[in-house]
Amino acid sequence: MRIDVVTIFPEYLEPLNVSLVGKARARGLLDVRLHDLRNWTHDRHHTVDDTPYGGGPGMVMKPEPWGEALDEIAASGEDKPVIVVPTPSGRPFTQRLAEELSTRPWLVFTPARYEGIDRRVVEEYAERYEVREVSIGDYVLAGGEAPVLVMVEAVARLLPGVLGNAESHRDDSFADGAMANLLEGPVYTKPPLWRGRDVPDVLLSGHHGRVERWRRDQALTRTAANRPDLLRSCDPETLDKHDRAM
Ligand code: ADE
């Protein structure tokens, strides 16, 4: 997969050299290209923002640098990219969207600063490309760079070959198996006793069926406590069926 990021803070994206994403890049599974938006300005001050029409606080990113940058980048590959615009006004970023994006050959991210990008940029590119306006949560950040780090990591770990087998299997079962829509329960490792605290007996029992039943109960309890909205969106039939089956 190819990923381009256009930003006025390329250095903000340096974590993409580290850990899972860094390794995926080093192994040639992911081709990440960072671009400084100011390279597509023509004035001495490399201006990317201006005051908003209609008044109000803050600044708006000018359309011209974005237009030149996106024209040049989008013309530099064989496929058509999907353009992902991080904005608190976008559709929620979910595991489902991450899965969908992970099947695309090419993503271009356009993280904005200030009050956002002149609306005409999205309108212009939506005529020729698939444009997704995406929010990573109901809070406002100072810019879209942190959301890009979040989205790239969520997408990269789904790419074939990026995760080891053991990990990917576990996650698949969470995505749409018996544990769909449930939060992961607690996990334990050695030693069996730490500061007077035991690992739950069932996990040491070697009884696979009981371990699965316990994990599901833990997931249900945790989901009820932390995300009752997820439980409500579970199909009660499915919940009952799996709970009877285990
Ligand atoms: N830019 C600022 N806040 C954001 C958010 N919550 N999601 C995506 N982009 C953003």
Is 138 labeled as ligand-binding?
Answer: yes
**Class for the domain spanning 2-156:** alpha beta
Does 166 score more than 60 pLDDT?
A: no
Which of 226, 77, 81, 100 is CA-nearest to residue 158?
Answer: 100
pLDDT digits (tens, 9 = 90+) for 111-121: 999 899 999 99
- Using DSSP's 3-state secondary structure scheme, residue 35 falls into strand
Mean pLDDT of 48-60: 97
- Residue 104 or residue 169, greater confidence: 104
- Residue in 2, 88, 99, 213 annotated catalytic: 88
Does the pLDDT value for residue 244 go beyond 90? no
Q: Average of pLDDT values for 95-119?
A: 97
Regarding the beta carbon of 138 and ligand 1, being less than 6 Å apart is answered no
**Is-catalytic flag, 92?**
no
Asked if 181 and 237 count as a contact pair (C-beta separation under 8 A), the reply is: no
Does the domain at 165-245 match CATH 3.40.640.10? Answer given as: no
pLDDT at 53: 98
pTM score of the predicted model: 0.94
Highest mean predicted confidence (pLDDT) among 100-104, 110-114, 169-173, 236-240: 100-104
Q: Ligand 1 atom 4: the closest Cα is on which residue?
A: 88
**pLDDT average, residue stretch 215-228:** 96
Whether the per-residue pLDDT at 30 is higher than 80: the answer is yes
Mean pLDDT of 145-174: 84
Return phi, psi of residue 133, to 5°: -90, 120
What is the separation of C-alpha 142 from the centre of its chain, rounded to a whole number of angstroms? Answer: 18
pLDDT score for 4: 98
Alpha helices of the chain — where are they, by DSSP H? 19-26, 63-74, 95-102, 120-126, 145-156, 165-176, 201-204, 208-226, 228-232, 236-245
Domain range annotation of the chain: 2-156, 165-245
In order, the DSSP letters of 85-116 are: EEEEEEEEP-HHHHHHHHTSSEEEE----TT-
The answer to whether 140 is annotated as binding is yes
